[in-house]
Chains A and B, each alone.
Chain A
Amino acid sequence: MWEKFTDRQLADMIRSGEVRAESRAIRFLVRNNREKAIRWVCANAGGREDGEDAFNDALSALCINIRSGSYRLSENVALGTYLMTIVKYTWLKQLRRQGRFPGMKSIADDGTESIEVVRSAEQIMMEQEKDDRFRQIFERSLTDREKGILMASLVEKIPMKEIAERFELGNADNAKSHKYQIIKKLKKVLGDDKFWA
């Protein structure tokens, strides 16, 4: 009745970045793990909404790490178990922020919460923490227009001439100058930030 994929297929589909394949893989992971993750968070001092947030954060971190190549598929560990371990660390981090440290049950009901999985999950969480901090700085220190210029140039790879037209910056040289000034501003804030210093 429902689609079934192996972990390797799921990782390949996410890595491909092809919208349809990636969506199918994400749908599969949501269908098979979301309720379990929410139940686990609820059983560990959280509510349903906390569980939903923790699951979304964990799945997002997993997908990004699969895409960036940080995640290495292990034959001994199911992708679902891996995802659930990240949920656990995401929720643990959230509890620490709130100053709460309840005793936690092992999340892997198949006994596969090995050191390998835990280390890998911790690595992903560290990356996630960096991303969160970067996002905070990016959001707080730049205006919407500045963020737009930077995204258009660095992510969308739009030519400077077109950026100049879109953001009414005159010509391509002016747009480029604007971009570098924004980068300089961001660099300064990052340099002043304890996390990045």
Chain B
Amino acid sequence: MTNSGHNWKDEELIDRYFDGVCSGEELRAFGQRCEADSSFAEKVNAMRTIRKGVDRLHEEDRVRKRIGEAVREEERRKVRIRSLVGTAGGAFAAAAVFILFLAYSPLRIPVQPQEIRAVRNLEKTGLTDSSEAGKKKAFGLFFEAQSYLAEGELQPAILKLEELAEMDEMRPYFQEAVQWHLVMAHLKNGNVERAASLYEKVKTPEEYSIPLIDRWKVWWQLHRRMWIG
């Protein structure tokens, strides 16, 4: 092959040799020429160096590309983990704060219009006992107990509520209301065992409505006292 008067025959032969397309006869002749012709051997060595160098350059570029991709993915993975840890940490902290709130915030005395109506209804239909005095007594006891409870006078509140709890033929709504007030009175008074046993009875009320947050508060405060006193 010539171009601009140059003969590239040797280069073509060396290329064929490195491309592995020489025949057996060509290979033998190639070997003999390498031994006999030092300038040809030099050309072969130079071509070997260039081919190896170019191959390794290409290989390095390829590998570096893969490394770059792996590093970027690793960085993304770290960001994901950091964000996950941050979110989980935040959620954990929020849950801990909420539990502390439930376990330590003061219990609310339930005063609900529905309850007041129920107590007032007691005068008409609350008790199956037809005695007017009985109805008035029940209403009076409950009202007094609530007042004591609100003022922090727990012993008289408990006495009144226990008396109410022993009354027969109480409507379920009113029974549950009395028990819930008793749970809180005992809990505030430090009588954890009694509060816990009453809580078990009233934790899923059928008629009396206890806000979920209040039930959680009582549960946590009962358990806080049981676990850490």
Using CB atoms and an 8 Å cutoff, list the residues of chain A in contact with chain B: 22-23, 26-27, 29-31, 34, 52, 56, 59-60, 63-64, 67-68, 130-131, 134-135, 138, 150-151, 154-155, 157, 173-174, 176-177, 180-181, 183, 186-187, 190-191, 196
Sampled A-B contacts (22; CB under 8 Å)? A22-B66, A26-B63, A26-B66, A26-B67, A30-B70, A31-B70, A31-B74, A52-B71, A56-B67, A59-B63, A67-B59, A68-B56, A138-B54, A138-B57, A150-B54, A151-B58, A154-B54, A155-B58, A174-B3, A177-B4, A183-B11, A187-B46
Nearest-neighbor residue (CB-CB) of B74 within chain A: A30
Q: Which 9 A-B pairs have the closest CB atoms?
A: A177-B3, A134-B53, A30-B70, A27-B70, A155-B58, A63-B63, A187-B46, A26-B70, A180-B11
CA distance A131 to B60 in the complex (A): 9
Using CB atoms and an 8 Å cutoff, list the residues of chain B in contact with chain A: 1-4, 6, 8, 11-12, 19, 46-47, 49-51, 53-60, 63-64, 66-71, 73-74, 77
Whether A190 touches B56, Cβ cut-off 8 Å, given contacts A23-B69, A30-B67, is no
Q: Are A64 and B56 in contact (CB under 8 A)?
A: yes
Residues of B within 8 A of A135 (CB): 53, 57, 60
Q: Are A177 and B71 in contact (CB under 8 A)?
A: no
- Chain A contact residues, majority secondary structure: helix
Residues of B within 8 A of A134 (CB): 49, 53, 56-57
Q: How far is the CB of B8 from chain A (nearest CB, A)?
A: 5
Q: Are B56 and A131 in contact (CB under 8 A)?
A: yes
Q: Are B67 and A59 in contact (CB under 8 A)?
A: yes
Q: Are A177 and B1 in contact (CB under 8 A)?
A: yes
Nearest-neighbor residue (CB-CB) of A2 within chain B: B77
Q: Are B8 and A177 in contact (CB under 8 A)?
A: yes
